[in-house]
């Protein structure tokens, strides 16, 4: 053993090396799994750097509404939705994980007027898991948790911006503003709330994470 390199330092060095290799192995396994994960289907209509205009196909989501701040909302909802796809349903059926996990401000329709209006309800967030395309609303197992619901999302056009980094409100807001500026430059009309899409698990280092902001816009032929 080299001079000055004590048993304690050797053990510390060995521990760090094992943690590094464990992380590398975890990332390798996740990348292999991620390649097989089904994602929302869309066609790119226009691309401009990190911004895209996409046409999304109709799909089904499992949804839950939570109240809390931006950072904690996803953590609160994730376990609830994950239990549903892991068998916490009437059929005790497991459902394959898909991507992304979606988060958007929860909006509620108010009294019928001309036009129909929407408003945010407090600090509430809609968190969604996309369901595999092989299922329909009729064939998906019924959730046993009353806080989990299933709904069909119609096909729609979305403007998007992709980025990596930490799951912070500051970074999210920066990209919302960048995407809104791009939408304004393209003279597109926004039709709903922005959606935050996350494709990776919490253990993924932030610089490897794949994140997106999506904003629904009026269809452009």
CA dihedral in degrees (71, 77, 79, 80; nearest 10)? 170
* More confidently predicted of 30 and 212: 212
Q: In terms of C-beta density within 10 A (0-12 exposed, 13-18 middle, 19 or more buried), how is residue 12 classed? A: exposed
Q: Mean pLDDT across the stretch 40-66?
A: 94
3-state SS, one letter per residue, for 109-157: ECCCCCCCCEEEEEEEEEEEEECCCCCCCCCCCCECCCCCEEEEECCEE
pTM summary value: 0.75
**Res 122 pLDDT > 90:** no
What average pLDDT score do residues 131-145 get?
93
Residue 71 has pLDDT above 60, yes or no: yes
* Tokens encoding 70: 């931006």
Q: In the chain, what percentage of residues exceed pLDDT 70? A: 75
């Amino acid at each position: 053993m080299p001079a000055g390199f004590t048993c304690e330092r050797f053990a510390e060095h060995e521990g760090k090396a094992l943690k590094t290799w464990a992380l590398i192995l975890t990332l390798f396994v996740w990348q292999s799994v991620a390649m097989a994960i089904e994602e929302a289907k869309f066609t790119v209509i226009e691309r401009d750097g990190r911004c895209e205009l996409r046409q999304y196909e109709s799909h089904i989501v499992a949804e839950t509404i939570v109240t809390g701040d931006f950072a904690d909302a996803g953590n609160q909802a994730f376990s609830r939705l994950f239990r549903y796809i892991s068998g916490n349903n009437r059929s005790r059926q497991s459902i394959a994980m898909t991507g992304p996990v979606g988060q958007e401000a929860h909006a509620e329709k108010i009294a019928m007027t001309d036009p129909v209006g929407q408003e945010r309800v407090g600090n509430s967030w809609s968190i969604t898991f996309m369901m595999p395309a092989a299922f329909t609303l009729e064939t998906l197992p019924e959730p046993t948790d009353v806080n989990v619901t299933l709904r069909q999302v119609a096909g729609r056009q979305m403007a998007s911006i992709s980025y990596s980094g930490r799951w912070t409100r500051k970074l999210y807001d920066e990209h919302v503003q960048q995407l809104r500026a791009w939408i304004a430059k393209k003279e597109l009309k926004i039709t709903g709330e922005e959606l935050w899409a996350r494709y990776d698990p919490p253990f993924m280092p932030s610089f490897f994470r794949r994140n997106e902001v999506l904003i629904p816009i009026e269809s452009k032929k």
